[in-house]
Amino acid sequence: MSTCTNATSLFSELKTRIETRQARVGVIGLGYVGLPLALLYTEARFRVTGFDIDQRKVATLGSGGSYIYRIPPTEIQAARSHGFSATADFSTLTEMDAIIICVPTPLDEYREPDLSFITNTASAIAPYLRAGQLVVLESTTYPGTTEEVLIPILERGNGSGLKAACDAGAKAENEFFVAFSPEREDPGNDSIARRDIPKVVGGLNSQASELAGSLYGSIFNKVVPVSSPAVAEMTKLLENIYRCVNIALVNELKLLSLRMGLDIWEVIQAASTKPFGFQPFYPGPGLGGHCIPVDPYYLSWKAKEWDFQTRFIELAGDINNTMPYHVVSCVSRALSQQRKALNGAKVLVLGVAYKKDIDDLRESPALTIIELLQKDGAQVGYNDPYFPFIGKGRHYDLQMKCTPVEDVGKYDCVLIVTDHSDYDYQWIAQHASLVVDTRNAMKGIHAENIVRC
């Protein structure tokens, strides 16, 4: 754990710079979280510099382009006209007043937390850290990461004896401020403006909390202060574990409903009419995205430190992880009803993004489903308006090109994995020989060639 100091003059100076929009803001990690955040600060007339080790992202932003579908190039160009810039040169971090870390926190092959992005970023920041700076971690992680992992690296690596400020100690001229504020991005959700999503903030001390609250309060309409970084870290895990567990519950009930001959979607719709005590969650082919499939395992891993087994969380993860296998079995059964075998069958997967209407492949169940189908001998193609090509990722290597959706008639089975709004499902039902629907995309369409999975 770190040795803490307490500050006054540096705190007041930084608070004034934030309130007057003179503070320079550095955002590390220009992905689905970091880039939108950087643009919000630029809109609020802060001078923002984005940092990323991916030179292609830096070059794209430098030329006024965008690599995220929901952020048009015009937004990047407008931000650049207001001073936004991107760089891979971390030495300029010393010029920043606030440094916000938005890097990935995936799982490794053993489903244990991979903090390498955080530790590498902290090591890159440390040599350029100066007194009076505010460092905020946004990456989802287990409770204790900010204090047990981030701060020690920053303190050891700066070479100037800088310490993280807390409520004990004295040397005000020799400290920096640290907080944790979990990202709450929901890609594809256009019903809630980013500014209207309350921002949870937990500082290492009251001054850090106040500074972080002021910084985020300049772009978010509500800031929710909590007592520590660990509370803020746990808050994000609770949010996503809550969703993971409820999705697992409804996935399990879907499997039971299929055996009982019941329509789980009709059941959910009926249950949703209850005005209290019920929130609808929906079944699917598996979990995707960086949060829900990943975050529960961060807490399960950390719980072992206290000799505690999170059985309920782990059960939910197991149920959700089995859904791609259920989908493949469903395809196999549907083909057999048409006197065809999965081995050698042509299967077109519709939608590979982890959820509808976004360009994000992270942890998408479609990738697992494609691999399982290929393993069973199927000839697999895919269509997704957001992905002309699928290459190699952290846990997959498919090297596939997008097939035109007009080719559905050439396949033995069309498997709907992601229900993008662009698809004409009525047309697909008319032209496909067999449709296996995992998303209720064919709701209201009645045809003998549709199998609801």
Residue 1 contacts residue 163 (beta carbons within 8 Å): no
CA angle, 262 then 268 then 273, to 5°: 130
In eight-state DSSP terms, residue 165 is: B
In a 3-state reduction of DSSP, which class is residue 163? strand
Given phi > 0 = left and psi -120 to 50 = alpha, else beta, which region is 132?
A: left
In a 3-state reduction of DSSP, which class is residue 148? helix
Query: How far apart (Å, rounded) are the C-alpha atoms in residues 143 and 303?
Result: 10
Assess whether 402 carries a catalytic annotation: no
Helix axes 229-260, 264-271, angle to 10 degrees: 130
How many Cβ atoms are within 10 Å of 263's Cβ, its own excluded?
14
Query: How far apart (Å, rounded) are the C-alpha atoms in residues 379 and 348?
Result: 8
Sorted by sequence, the CB contacts under 8 Å of residue 397 that are 6+ apart come out as 391
Q: Phi/psi of residue 92, each to 5°?
A: -75, 0
Which amino acid is located at 306 in the chain? Answer: W
Which residue out of 291, 330, 413, 453 is catalytically annotated? 291
Q: Which residues are catalytic?
A: 291
